[in-house]
Amino acid sequence: MSLIVQKYGGTSVGTPERILNVARRVIETQDAGHKVVVVVSAMSGVTDGLIKLANAVSPAPSERELDVLLATGEQTTIALTAMAINALGRKAVSLTGAQAGIITDGVHTKAKIANITPKQVHEHLDDGTIVIVAGFQGETSDGRITTLGRGGSDLTAIAIAAAIKAHVCQIFTDVDGVYTCDPRVVPTATKIEEISYDEMLEMASSGSKVMQSRSVEFAKKFGVVFEVRSSFNHNPGTTVKEETRNMENVVVRGVSIEKNQAKLTLRQIPDRPGNAARIFTALAGANLSVDMIVQSDGIGDTNDISFTLSKDDLPKASKVLESVAQEIGAQGIETQDGIAKLSIVGIGMRSHSGVAAKMFAALSHGGINIQMISTSEIKTAVILEEGKIVEAANLVHEAFGLSARA
Amino acid sequence: MSLIVQKYGGTSVGTPERILNVARRVIETQDAGHKVVVVVSAMSGVTDGLIKLANAVSPAPSERELDVLLATGEQTTIALTAMAINALGRKAVSLTGAQAGIITDGVHTKAKIANITPKQVHEHLDDGTIVIVAGFQGETSDGRITTLGRGGSDLTAIAIAAAIKAHVCQIFTDVDGVYTCDPRVVPTATKIEEISYDEMLEMASSGSKVMQSRSVEFAKKFGVVFEVRSSFNHNPGTTVKEETRNMENVVVRGVSIEKNQAKLTLRQIPDRPGNAARIFTALAGANLSVDMIVQSDGIGDTNDISFTLSKDDLPKASKVLESVAQEIGAQGIETQDGIAKLSIVGIGMRSHSGVAAKMFAALSHGGINIQMISTSEIKTAVILEEGKIVEAANLVHEAFGLSARA
């Protein structure tokens, strides 16, 4: 008998009917001879409704109280899920994050898991009971309710799986798994059977938002094998695990795209040590995430520094850098939106040469201009005009042989 | 500086605007120099919505899980109330029942408070912080979430007031206080300034549903003085406390009425010991509450036994008693609905004679027939035709000089 953790997201538990559907899947899993821990999110829409209530009583709700408020969303789902399983004739109990022993630090609304003591989880499992745990939440060691921030329910599932040494952690969602590219962009995209943690991380950071990076990092750190699959069908999903030898045979695992990017360039920065640090420290201080950074020679003894970031952050970044630009003697700030990022990801890139060149050639054949380039060991990313991104993704996807064959 | 517990019911916190209104009242109380603990219910309609969800996933939801589910209602309100107070510039923190140290027995959906260790409440109060506690909920000593059943939030407020030795407990509701009779029935009814625990208990059991009896009993047991008042105006309410000497000067404190009553009579029960016990044991076993009981001589060596109960329970009671009637040899069961109960309540009745007679005379003058009579030390109740109840209440109210004078 093996131990399985299953996580169902907000869409999968969005209505009473869907909760009953989840209950049936959980029971199938038990019938297949497994002990099951189920982690659930708030029903879709509930969290937004709670935030709306909070904003109706306060322009800037305290984060401590936001956590108390938001935690009710998952608490509602665990009770309903346990009831649904009971109604279908099986033993099930619900546990809040605190009851499941999830202890976090005290950073409200984005707490980090400090440790898990899943005593109650084990007791109920040993009793043949299905255990339903509230995702996204925990408590501090002094008893305050906390939430884990975006992607928190996935993190709960993977952390519980690590703590109870589950055989596998299944992340049920509204997509079938991880695809070689977003099928809405590249219709010939195919589902990836197996992917390494590192590839999954690069995909996530390149816009394939199946899961937040922190959950994948946690899984990697503790060696938790997890599978991303759909709660609406029985198709096998994508398994994410430590890389294996034969994973390297595939040069490019997937292509990911990220729209809504913007570029900001500081022109003619005097070539003095510390200027780049001042720029990016200022941005970090304003909580702005920067993606690609390129430094190039400017006129005379100066450099140009360009970086990309989310288009939504562009106004704030421009404002933050106005005074910095003056202080360091830059000649001006230029901004550009309407750009997008295209990335290819694969651990096979480490052992195959010419991968980037092949990508650039594919784009060039299509007459698509490359504005910036960034590479890592297992990823090559380029910035393109946003209007060309669909065409570019299809060209590159095809060039690396990722498309489904008829 | 004195300690005040304030409780706000579901209507008082029914919308974000009303929660802000509550926040302002709480701050006024703090400004008047008090330390304040606030107990809140779920926003009106929320609990019903949660029960509907439960019924949508299960025909008979587990009571353990119902408690987990329902507890989210008050948890939502505490967070919003604390946020609202914060937004108005004061320190406030929310505590769930468990965090407030409310330990209960393990009887889910109607748990009894076993003890309270309000450590966190004290700590925050000492810090100058307003403490918002979730009503209606607690946890077992082994960490299960429980709820206290109907009127549970009032009970939380009174129990917390007892535990922290509050100066007074204010129960804010949608009525101005306890009236000499329901003003919708008797337009000349006036608000009662002070009432003893025992009178309040008799009023509650006679249909004046301002508060559940258990909360009043708890207050009586621990000597908690409480005031029932409106959250929508600043009128003084009704203070409920241990009886004082001068309370006895008022013979009748109030008149209460209860509609939707029914009468069930078993005819010609052979006069043998144990028959009454069998009847009422059977009813209790079916969880049916009986109100008045009258036994009268029947034909020959038999008795008739009549009792009243809620009209809604009549079909169930008839069914339960069918076989009992056969076993004990009763000649038949008669049922009657369309009746109502009228009660007069007052501790002054103990020291004044002729009170019941005065009531009967008032009804008789009005040509109203009395069907059953029941008396206790501080209450006299009669059963009347339901269609006459409004007239009867006005007559009796007037006869005892309770009506407001123009």
Question: What integer pLDDT is reported at residue A208 of this predicted model?
Answer: 66
Cβ neighbours of A109 (radius 10 Å): 17
Question: What integer pLDDT is reported at residue B201 of this predicted model?
Answer: 92
Rounded CA gap, A270 and A388, in Å?
A: 35
Nearest CA in chain A to B54: A80
Q: What is the number of alpha carbons within 13 Å of residue A120 lying toward its C-beta?
A: 17
Structure tokens at B168: 């007074």
Q: Do A86 and B61 touch (CB under 8 A)?
A: yes
The contacts found for B29-33 with CB under 8 angstroms, 24 or more apart, are B29/B4, B30/B90, B30/B130, B33/B1, B33/B2
Residue A361: name the closest of A403, A388, A400 by CA. A400
pLDDT tens digits, one per residue of A150-196? 889 999 999 999 999 999 999 999 888 999 999 999 999 999 999 99
Structure tokens at A20: 């009953």
Domain locations in chain A as residue ranges: 2-174
Distance between B145 CA and the closest CA of chain A, angstroms: 10
- Contacts with B90 from chain A: Cβ below 8 Å: none
What ipTM was predicted for this assembly? 0.85
Residue B56 contacts A where some CB pair is shorter than 8 Å: yes
DSSP, res B27: H
Q: What percent of chain A has pLDDT over 70?
A: 98
Amino acid at B315: P
Question: What integer pLDDT is reported at residue A207 of this predicted model?
Answer: 63
Please give the radius of gyration of chain B, using alpha carbons only, rounded to the nearest integer. Answer: 23
Q: Which residues contact A287 (CB under 8 A, 6 or more apart)?
A: none
Distance between A35 CA and the closest CA of chain B, angstroms: 20
Q: Which residue has the tokens 């099930």?
A: A92
Q: Do A75 and B71 touch (CB under 8 A)?
A: yes
Question: What integer pLDDT is reported at residue A406 of this predicted model?
Answer: 53
Q: Which residues of chain B fall short of a pLDDT of 70? A: 205-208, 405-406
Shortest CB distance from A54 goes to which of B64, B83, B120? B83
- Contacts with B54 from chain A: Cβ below 8 Å: 79-80, 83
DSSP string for residues in A72-95: HHHHHHHHHHHHHHHHTT--EEEE
Question: What integer pLDDT is reported at residue B273 of this predicted model?
Answer: 86
Distance between start and end Cα atoms, chain A: 40
Q: Do B54 and A80 touch (CB under 8 A)?
A: yes
Distance between B172 CA and the closest CA of chain A, angstroms: 20
Residue B132 contacts A where some CB pair is shorter than 8 Å: no
DSSP, res A99: T
pLDDT tens digits, one per residue of A319-369? 999 999 999 999 999 999 999 999 999 999 888 888 999 999 999 999 999
Cβ neighbours of A347 (radius 10 Å): 23
Question: What integer pLDDT is reported at residue B85 of this predicted model?
Answer: 98
Is the distance from CB of B263 to CB of B317 less than 8 angstroms?
no
DSSP string for residues in A107-130: -TTSPPEEEE--HHHHHHHHTT-E
The interface residues of chain A toward chain B in range 71-100, judged by CB-CB distance below 8 A, are 71-72, 75-76, 78-84, 86-87, 93-94, 96, 99
Task: Pick the residue of A46, A83, A120, A123 with the most B CBs within 10 A to test the interface with B by mutation.
Answer: A83
DSSP β-ladder status, B92-95 and B130-134: parallel
Shortest CB distance from B57 goes to which of A56, A75, A87? A87
Question: What integer pLDDT is reported at residue B406 of this predicted model?
Answer: 52
Q: Which residues of chain A fall short of a pLDDT of 70? A: 205-208, 405-406
Residue A60 contacts B where some CB pair is shorter than 8 Å: yes
User: A–B: how many Cβ contacts below 8 A?
Assistant: 116
Amino acid at B296: S
Question: What integer pLDDT is reported at residue A299 of this predicted model?
Answer: 81
Residue B161 contacts A where some CB pair is shorter than 8 Å: no
Is the distance from CB of A268 to CB of A330 less than 8 angstroms?
yes
Q: Do B53 and A16 touch (CB under 8 A)?
A: yes
CATH architecture of B2-174: 3-Layer(aba) Sandwich (3.40)
Shortest CB distance from B57 goes to which of A16, A60, A145? A16
DSSP, res A210: T
DSSP, res A207: T
Rounded CA gap, A320 and A282, in Å?
A: 7
Is the distance from CB of B32 to CB of B68 less than 8 angstroms?
no
Which residues, listed in sequence order, are joined to residue A35 by a DSSP beta bridge? Answer: A3
- Contacts with B83 from chain A: Cβ below 8 Å: 54, 57-58, 61-62, 65-66, 69
Q: Which residue has the tokens 């890592």?
A: A376
Distance of CA B190 to the CA centre of its chain: 20
Distance between A125 CA and the closest CA of chain B, angstroms: 17
Q: Which residue has the tokens 């099928």?
A: A183
Nearest CA in chain A to B58: A87
Task: Pick the residue of A17, A18, A76 with the most B CBs within 10 A to test the interface with B by mutation.
Answer: A76
Cβ neighbours of A268 (radius 10 Å): 16
What is the model's pTM?
Answer: 0.86
Rounded CA gap, B206 and B382, in Å?
A: 11
Alpha helices by DSSP H, B105-172: 119-126, 152-163
Is the distance from CB of B135 to CB of B95 less than 8 angstroms?
no
Residue A130 contacts B where some CB pair is shorter than 8 Å: no
Please give the radius of gyration of chain A, using alpha carbons only, rounded to the nearest integer. Answer: 23
DSSP, res A405: P
Q: What is the 3-state secondary structure (H, E, C) of B87-111?
A: HCCCCEEEECCCCCCEEECCCCCCC
Q: Do A96 and B68 touch (CB under 8 A)?
A: yes
Is the distance from CB of A189 to CB of A397 less than 8 angstroms?
yes
Question: What integer pLDDT is reported at residue A357 of this predicted model?
Answer: 92
Amino acid at B249: N
How far, in Å, are A34, A186, B62, B211 from residue A81 at the CA level? 18, 36, 11, 34
Which residues, listed in sequence order, are joined to residue A256 by a DSSP beta bridge? Answer: A343
Structure tokens at B108: 């889910």
Distance between B82 CA and the closest CA of chain A, angstroms: 7
